[in-house]
Chain A
Amino acid sequence: MSDTANKASPHGAHDEHGDPYAHIHVSSWQTLVAVFVALVLLTSLTVYVATYDIGRFELAVAMGIATIKCALVMGFFMHLKYDRALNRMVFLGSILFFTLFLGITVIDLDSSKPDIESYRRENPVKTAPATEESKPSGEATKPGDPKKSGEPGQHQKQK
C-alpha cells in the first residue's frame, strides 16, 4: 500500500543533481479494487435508501453517502491521502468558498421567503401555460419518431 516507485535510486548516488525520480506514491491494485467495491456498495445503498420514504432526511442521507464516496475517490484514486498537505489545503479552500457561496445564498433566500410566499398567494398559477403555449413545437408529429408515429394517441395531440 505504501511502496514507492524509487526502484533505481539509492539515496546519495545522485546527490549532486538531486534524485532523478520524484518520490511517488504507487497505490497497490488491491487498494484500488477495494475502494471500487466500496464505491459500488455505497451506490447500491443510496439507490436502495431512495426507494423508501424517509421524509426530510432524504436529502441529508443522499448527500452524506455522496460525500463518503467523494472522500474515497479523493483519498485513494486521487492520492490525496498520500499527497502534499498543500494540495489538500488547495482543495479544502475550494470547499470553503463553495460553502460560502451556497451558504450566503441560502441565508438570503431564507430571509426573502415571506415575500416569496405572499407573492405566490397573490399570483397563483392558473392553468397549464407551458403545455398550452408550446403546442406547435413540431417535435410531437415528427415522422421519424419510432415510438409514437402511427399510434392512436397521436390524433389527440391536435387539440
Chain B
Amino acid sequence: MSAMSDASHGAPEHPEHDPHLAHHFDDAQQQFDAAKMGMWTFLVTEILFFSGLFCAYAVYRSLYPDLFEGAAKYLNTTLGAINTLVLLFSSLTMAWAVRCAQLEQKKGLILTLALTLACAFGFLGIKYAEYSHKFHEGLLPGANYSAALHQGPEWLEEHGVDIHSHAPIPEAVEQAALAKDGRSYGLFFGIYFAMTGLHGIHVLAGIAVILFLLIRAIQGRIKRENSVIVDNVGLYWHLVDLIWIFLFPLLYLIN
C-alpha cells in the first residue's frame, strides 16, 4: 500500500489491508517477483555449491579415465535408472502441486504433495539399499576400499579361486578388484559418496519443506495469494532433480 492510498483513506491503518501482502511491498506482483528472485538467487548458490564436486569429478576423471570406467561397473545401473524415474515423477507431481496451489484446488494440492513426499522417501529407500550393499562389499572411499576381501563366492569362482579350499586369495584375484594400473577404486567411491551424499542431504531437506507444505495444505492455509511458497519449494525440489539428472550419467553410465 503506497503512501498515496494512505492519504486518500485518511487513516494510518489500512482498513482493507491484505494479510498476505507485506507492508514493504507495493502490490502482490512486486511481492511475488521478489520472492521468486530471492529463491533463484538461493538456487544459484546451490549450483555453485555443487560445482565444487563436479569440478573434482572432472579433474579426477580426466586424470584416471580407466579407474572411473572400471569402478562404475560396481554401481547398479538399474537402481540408478529407477531412482531417476522416481525423481522425475516427483518433479511432475511437484509441478502439478504448484498448479493446484495457484488454482486453489485443495484436494489436488494435498494429493500431489503427498505423492511427491512418497517419491522422496522412495528415492532415499533405494539409495539406502545401494549404500548398504556398497558398505557390505567394501566399496568404500579412499583407503577403506577393500572390494576383493568382500566378494561373494560367485565372483571368486569367476576369477578362478577354489572356494572350498582355505588357501589365501591369490594376489592376481585381489588385483582384479582394482583398476588396470593397480590403483584402488577408493578414489571413485570417495567422489561417489560425496556427490550422492550431498544430494541425499538435499533430498532430506526437501522432505522437510514438502512436509511443512503438506501440513499447511491440510490446514487449508495455502491460498492463491500465498501460493508462491509452493512455487519456491517446487523450484528447490526441481533443482534437486536437476542435480540428479547430471549425477546419474556421470556416475552410473560410464562405459
Contacts and interface: CB of A to CB of B under 8 A. Distances in A.
Contacts of B32: 22, 24
B193 interface: no
Given A62-B253, A157-B149, A134 B144 contact: yes
Interface string A22-62: 11101101001101100110010011001111100010001
Nearest to A87: B40
B92 interface: yes
A87 B33 CA distance: 9
Contacts of B88: 36, 39-40, 43
Interface string A115-159: 010000000111111110111010110000101100111011111
A139 to B, nearest CB: 7
A152 B241 CA distance: 43
Contacts of B163: 151-153, 156
A155 B166 contact: yes
Interface in A51-95: 51-54, 58, 62-63, 65-66, 69-70, 73-74, 76-79, 83-84, 86-87, 90-91, 93-95
Contacts of B47: 94-95, 98
Nearest to A159: B168
A109 B61 CA distance: 12
Given A94-B48, A131-B184, A159-B169, A148 B81 contact: no
Contacts of A24: 32, 102, 227, 231
B28 A22 contact: yes
A17 B161 CA distance: 82
A124 to B, nearest CB: 8
8 contacts: A21-B225, A22-B27, A24-B32, A53-B255, A73-B242, A93-B44, A157-B169, A159-B168
Interface of B: 1, 5, 8, 16, 18, 21, 26-29, 31-33, 36-37, 40-41, 43-44, 47-48, 51, 54-55, 58-59, 62-63, 77, 81, 84-85, 88-89, 91-92, 94-96, 98-99, 102-103, 135-136, 138, 142-153, 156, 161, 163-164, 166-169, 171, 174-175, 177-178, 181-184, 186, 224-225, 227-228, 231, 234-235, 238, 241-242, 245-246, 248-250, 253-255
Given A26-B99, A86-B37, 7 more contacts: A66-B246, A73-B238, A131-B145, A131-B149, A139-B135, A151-B152, A156-B156
